[in-house]
Structure 1
Amino acid sequence: MKPTFTTLQIAFLFLFISFKSFSQTYAENGMVVSDHVIASQVGVDILKKGGNAIDAAVATAFALEVTHPEAGNIGGGGFIVFMKSDGNVTTFDFREKAPLAASPTMFLDENGKIKDNSNHQGLLAVGVPGTVAGLYQAHQKYGKLPWADLVKPAVELAKKGFTMSWGLYNAAVRMTDRDPSEDIMQNYFKGKDGKIVKPGETWKQPALAKTLKEIQKHGRNGFYKGWVAQEIEDYMKANGGIITKADLEKYEAVEREPVKGTFNGYEIYSMPPPSSGGVALIEMMNLMEQANIAKVEFNSTAYVHLVAEAMRRAFADRAEHLGDPDFNPDMPLDRLLSKEFAKKRFETLDMTKASISDPAQFGHPYGGDNTTHFSVVDKDGNAISMTYTLENSYGVKMGSDKLGFIFNNEMGDFNPVPGETTATGQIGSNPNLVAPEKRMLSSMTPTIVAKDGKPYLVIGSPGGRTIINTVFQTVLNVLAYDMRVDRAIEAMKIHHQWLPDRILYERNLLSPDTREALEKMGHTLTPTTNLGVLMGITYDASKKLYTGAADSSSEDGGARGY
C-alpha cells in the first residue's frame, strides 16, 4: 500500500527541504568568510597581527588567487564596499576596462553577427585587469600594515603549495581536458611528473609565486609596469589579443560614493555603476517595502510572484539605463533609487498574473559565470564587502605559463551588437556598448547593511547576473523574515532577469504546487541546480558577537574568526 501524507506533513516536508545544510561560525574580534578556508585563515591572521579590515581583504584576495583560481584573481577585476568604524562608507571600483584598440563592433563579422563567440572566447574577450590596482589603492588610503606583509602569505602559498582538495581536483580534471587553444589549462594543475596533482598531495605554482613576488616588492607597478606588463603584452600579441603596456600603464582604479537605500529602518549601502547590483538591489528592496513583504508568507506563491515581478522591473531598468558612469553622466540614479519611483512601479504590479517582458520597450510597460565574494569585519567595526571576478569559471582559460595566472573574459559583459535587444536576453542599449577605456556593466553586488550606524549584515555572492537576485533575497530574508545568516544564505532562491522571460528556481526547493500555481499566473519556470554562493557576516550589538556563514555550495569555503 502506498504511503499517504496529510497536508500538515507535506507542509513540514517542504519547510525542511526549503533549506540546505547550514551552520554558523562565531567570533568576538573579527571574521573573514570566503570561498576557501585557507584564504579566510590568511585574512584572520592579518587581523590578529593588528591589521584592519582593508589589510585582511588585501591578504585574503591575493590568497584566493592561489587557492581559488576559478574566480580569485589578479587577472580580473571587481569592487569593494568599505564601511569605516565611524559609519562612513566608500567604495573602490577596479572593474576591468576595454583596451585602447577596442570598438563597438569589434566582435562582429561582415554581416553584423557575433563572430565565433569572440566576446567570450579568445583574447579579444579580455578586459584590462583591475584587481591589483584596486587592492593597492584601497591599501594606500586605508591600510595599516605594510603592503609586502599582506601579499607575503599568497607568495608562500604559491611557492610552497597547499593540499589539493577534492573540489579543486574535480575542477582540474574538467579544465585540463579541454580545447588546446586554452593553453594555460593544459598544465595548470599538473606537478613536475606531468600529472594532475591528486587530493591530499601538495600543489605548487612557481610561476604565480614569481609574479606575486614582483607585486609584493613593487606594489601596483609590479603588475602594470616592468617584466610582468611586458610579458602580458608579448603574450597578447602572440595569441591574438589587443592589450598593450599602454593599456596597463593607463589603468586606474576609482574611489566612488556608494549607492544608499533604506528598508524598515535599516541602511543599505552597495556598489554604484559600473556595477548595476546596488541600484537594482535598492530598487527591489523599495518595492518590497511598498508590498509590506513581511506580511507575505515566505516561499508562498504570492511571495515568489512578487519577488519575480520586482526582479523583472529592476532588470529592465538596468538594461535601459546603466553603464560606466564616466561614459554615461546622465544616468537617472536618483529616480531609480527613490521611494516615489518604487511606488509607481508597484502600482503597475498585478498580484494575480505575470507581467510581459517586451524587448522593444524595456521597463516602460511597468511604468556572466564565475565570480567570488568575501566578507570581512575587524575588532574596531570596520567592514569590507568585496566581490571580484574573471567572468566565466577560469575566465578566458588562457594565460602565459611564465606568469601563472588566468585572464578574464569580461568583455562579454558589454552589449555586443549595437541596437539589438532580443527576447533571448541579448541587450543592445547604448549605455553599455564597447568603447576604449570603458568599464563594462557588472552585476556584482557587494553590500553592507547598517543598523544605528554600525555594520549589521555584510553580504555578497558570485553568479553572473544572478548575483543581484541572490543578494537581494538574502538581504530580504534577514531584514524582513528575521532569518539568521546561514539560513538566509541557504534558503530557496529564484532568478528573473527580464529577458529571457522566465523564472529560474533551485530544483527540489520549490513546492510543485507553488510551481503549478505560478504557471497558471503566466510565469514560465525553469529548474537549475544552484543559485549563488553567498558569504555573509552579521553583527549582534547586544552580544557584541560576529556570526559568519559560507554557502554550502562552496566546497572549500568557510568562515574563520577570533
Structure 2
Amino acid sequence: MNFKPFYSILFLAVFLQGHFLFAQVYARNGMVVSSSKIASEVGTDILKKGGNAIDASVATAFALAVTHPTAGNIGGGGFLVFMDASGTATTIDFREKAPLEASPDMFLDANGKLTKGQNLYGNESTVNHIGAKSVGVPGTVAGLYLAHQKYGNLPWADLVQPAIDIAKNGFPLTWKISRDAAYFSANSPVPFLKDFFKNDSGNLTQFGEVFKQPELANTLTEIRDHGHDGFYKRPVAKEIVNFMKQNGGIISMKDLKRYTAVERKPVKGTFNDYEIYSMPPPSSGGVALIEMMNLMELANLEDIEFNSTAYVHLVAEVMRRAFADRAEHLGDADFNNDLPLDKLTSKAFAKTRFDNIDMTKASVSDSTKLGQLYDGTSTTHFSVMDKEGNAVSLTYTLEHSYGSGMGSDKLGFIFNNEMGDFNPQPGITTNSGQVGTNPNLIQPEKRMLSSMTPTIVAKDSKPYLVIGSPGGRTIINTVFQTVLNVLAYDMRVDRAIEAMKIHHQWLPDEIEYERGLLSPDTRKALEAMNHTLVPTNSLGALMGIQVDAENKVLIGAADSSRPDGAAIGY
C-alpha cells in the first residue's frame, strides 16, 4: 500500500494548523510581534545588540512608519505600557491633542448642526474626519523620545537609523500594500495619497517592486539627529505649519512646541491570580477591560462552554454595560477632575452591573443614556519582550486607514484625522453611536478619547501576557476576549488570538460576529433572546507574547488576518 498520499495530506494539515491557523513562534532571549515582518526584524536586531524592550519598541515603531503606512506613524499618536522584569508597570501617553484654535463647535454649521461632507474612504459622512482641520497635534515622536530618555539603553540615533535605511533604500512592496496603492491611485481625491506610492518615474509601484521614501528618510534623519526637537521645533515643524496654513488646518508652531508626552500610572485590575495593567484615560480601553474582566470573574465559567449561546450572550451583555459606562464617564483626565476610575474598576461596582444581567434575554440599549464609538481602523499594535523579562505593549494610530490621507511632499508621512474622535456635537447622542457627553467634547490641547488597549498581564509579579490590537471601536473587546481566553479558558496565546470573537458597543444595539465562526443554531438561539446579529469578516488583529515561565520560553503570535505581520524571536 502506498502511504505517501496519506502522509502528504497529514503533513499539509499539520503545517496549515501550525503555521497559518495557529501560528506561533518560540524564543528564549527576546521577541517582537508586529504587523510588519520587516519591523519585527528591526526590533529583534536591536534586542540582539543589547537593547532592552523600550529600545526595541522605539526602533520597531519607527520602522513601522516606513513599512506599514496604513497605521505605522509619526503623524499620529498612541499609548505604551511598560513593565520591567520585577513587575513594576508604567505607561506613556502620546495621544494627539486638539490645536489651540480648536473649539467644541468647530465642526458645526450656522444652525448648530454637524457639517456633512464626503469622507475620503466612504466610511463616515461628517467633516470632522476629513481635511486639514481633522488633524490633531501628532504625539508619536514625543512619546517614543520620552520612553527612550527614561528607560532606554542604546543611543537614540541607533534606534532611528534602521528606519532611515529602509526608507532610503526601499523595501519590496507587499501584496496588501500594493492593493492599497492601486486603490488610492485610482480613487483618492487627495493628491498626496494618490501619488504616495509612485516611483521616481511617476509610475505606481507594483507588488514585489522596491518602494523608496526619500522624503520620509530626510524627516527621520532630522528626528535621529535632534530627537524631540527634530519634529516639534526645527524645519519639520515649520513645514507642518506651512502645510496647515496652505490647506485650511489650524495646527500652529505654538501647538507643536507645547506638545508633550506624559508618563501616567496604569490602571490595574485582577482576575483570579493574575494582575492586569493597561492604559488610563484618555484611553478608555484599560478601564473598560478591567470592568469587563471583573464582571466575568463573577460568572461560573466552568459551566459556560466557550462559543456556546450562553457564552456569547454573557460576553455581549458584559460589553454592553462597560461601553455604556465608558460613554458616560470617560475623557481626558487632564480636563476632567472627577473621572470615577476607582469606581468603574472596582469589584463592588462590577457586582452591581453583573446582578442585572438576565441570562435568558438581551438587555435593551437606551440612546437617552449615552453610547460611543471611537478610533478608526488605521491602528497598529506590537508587543515586545527582552531577555531580562522587560515587556512593552504599544498601540498607535492615524485614526482612519491612512489617516487623513494628507501630507506634505517635503516630509513624506501621512497626517492623522484624530479630531473625529472627539464628541462632535455637544449634547447629541444617537442610536447609531454618536455621543455628545461633556468629558470628550473638543477643547484646546485636550487629548481625544481612545479605544486603544495595550495591556500587560502579570503572573507572580512577572510579565505573563503582552497583548493589544488595532480595530477601532472593536479594540477593547478583542483584547478583552483574548485575555479572557488565556486566563479563563487556558488557551495558548496563538489560539486565543485566532478564536471566535464578537463585538457589542452598547449603541448601536447589535452583536457583530465573525462570519463562519458561529453556528446557525447558536445564531438562531441568540436571536430568540432578542439579540440583533451582524456578520463581519474579522475582528481585531492581535499581536501577542505569552511567557512559559516553567520552560523559560517566550511564545509569540501574530494574527493571521494581518498577512504582513510576524513574530520574530531569538
Which bin holds the TM-score, normalised by the shorter protein? over 0.9
Letter in 2 for 1:44: T
Alpha-carbon offset, residue 85 of structure 1: 1.4
CA distance in 2, matches of 1:91, 1:459: 14
CA distance in 2, matches of 1:412, 1:47: 37
Alpha-carbon offset, residue 20 of structure 1: 7.5
Over 3 Å counting, the alpha-carbon distance change for 1:132 and 1:473 in structure 2 is same
Which of 164, 167, 173 aligns to 2:173? It is 164
CA distance in 2, matches of 1:485, 1:312: 25
Matched-pair contact (CA < 8 Å) for 1:20–1:490: no
What does residue 506 of structure 1 align with? 514
Deviations 1:16-40 (A, max 9, x none): 99x9712100000000000000000
Alpha-carbon offset, residue 516 of structure 1: 0.7
1:136 and 2:145 aligned: yes
CA distance in 2, matches of 1:56, 1:81: 14
Matched-pair contact (CA < 8 Å) for 1:370–1:390: yes
CA distance in 2, matches of 1:295, 1:403: 57
Segments ≥4 residues shifted beyond 3 Å = none
Alpha-carbon offset, residue 476 of structure 1: 0.4
What does residue 344 of structure 1 align with? 352
Alpha-carbon offset, residue 316 of structure 1: 0.3
What does residue 74 of structure 1 align with? 74
1:558 and 2:563 aligned: no
What does residue 232 of structure 1 align with? 240
Alpha-carbon offset, residue 292 of structure 1: 2.6
CA distance in 1, matches of 2:461, 2:304: 29
CA distance in 2, matches of 1:436, 1:156: 37
1:467 and 2:463 aligned: no
1:406 and 2:424 aligned: no
What does residue 377 of structure 2 align with? 369
Deviations 1:52-106 (A, max 9, x none): 0000000000000000000000000000000011210000000000000000000
Letter in 1 for 2:43: G
Partner of 1:61: helix, strand, or coil?
helix
How does 1:29-68 map onto structure 2 within 5 Å? 29-68=29-68
Letter in 1 for 2:428: E
CA distance in 1, matches of 2:201, 2:347: 62
What does residue 420 of structure 1 align with? 428
Over 3 Å counting, the alpha-carbon distance change for 1:20 and 1:108 in structure 2 is farther
Alpha-carbon offset, residue 362 of structure 1: 4.1
What does residue 104 of structure 1 align with? 104
Alpha-carbon offset, residue 183 of structure 1: 2.4
Letter in 2 for 1:219: G
What does residue 88 of structure 1 align with? 88
CA distance in 1, matches of 2:272, 2:450: 27
Partner of 1:360: helix, strand, or coil?
helix
CA distance in 2, matches of 1:242, 1:498: 34
Letter in 2 for 1:91: T
What does residue 188 of structure 2 align with? 179
Matched-pair contact (CA < 8 Å) for 1:183–1:399: no
CA distance in 1, matches of 2:335, 2:519: 45
**Structure 2, gaps ≥5 residues long:** 1-15, 118-125
Query: Aligned-pair RMSD on alpha carbons?
Result: 1.3
Letter in 2 for 1:334: D
Matched-pair contact (CA < 8 Å) for 2:370–2:429: no
How does 1:128-527 map onto structure 2 within 5 Å? 128-180=137-189, 182-362=190-370, 368-527=376-535
Deviations 1:176-210 (A, max 9, x none): 22233x22112111111211111221110000000
Alpha-carbon offset, residue 293 of structure 1: 2.5
Matched-pair contact (CA < 8 Å) for 2:47–2:386: yes
Alpha-carbon offset, residue 113 of structure 1: 1.8
Letter in 2 for 1:42: V
Alpha-carbon offset, residue 411 of structure 1: 0.6
Matched-pair contact (CA < 8 Å) for 2:167–2:213: yes
Letter in 2 for 1:132: V
Letter in 2 for 1:65: A
CA distance in 2, matches of 1:497, 1:165: 33
Over 3 Å counting, the alpha-carbon distance change for 1:123 and 1:541 in structure 2 is same
Alpha-carbon offset, residue 295 of structure 1: 2.9
CA distance in 2, matches of 1:206, 1:419: 46
**Structure 1, gaps ≥5 residues long:** 1-15
Matched-pair contact (CA < 8 Å) for 1:20–1:491: no
CA distance in 2, matches of 1:220, 1:272: 24
CA distance in 2, matches of 1:127, 1:545: 41
Letter in 2 for 1:24: Q
Normalised by the size of structure 2, how large is the TM-score? 0.94
Letter in 1 for 2:504: H
Matched-pair contact (CA < 8 Å) for 1:456–1:539: yes
Letter in 2 for 1:72: G
CA distance in 1, matches of 2:448, 2:191: 26
Letter in 1 for 2:485: N
Letter in 1 for 2:109: D
Matched-pair contact (CA < 8 Å) for 1:494–1:504: yes
Identity of aligned residues (%): 71
Partner of 1:329: helix, strand, or coil?
coil
Matched-pair contact (CA < 8 Å) for 2:34–2:383: yes
Please say which of residues 189-198 and 72-81 is displaced more in the overlay: 189-198
Matched-pair contact (CA < 8 Å) for 1:375–1:535: yes
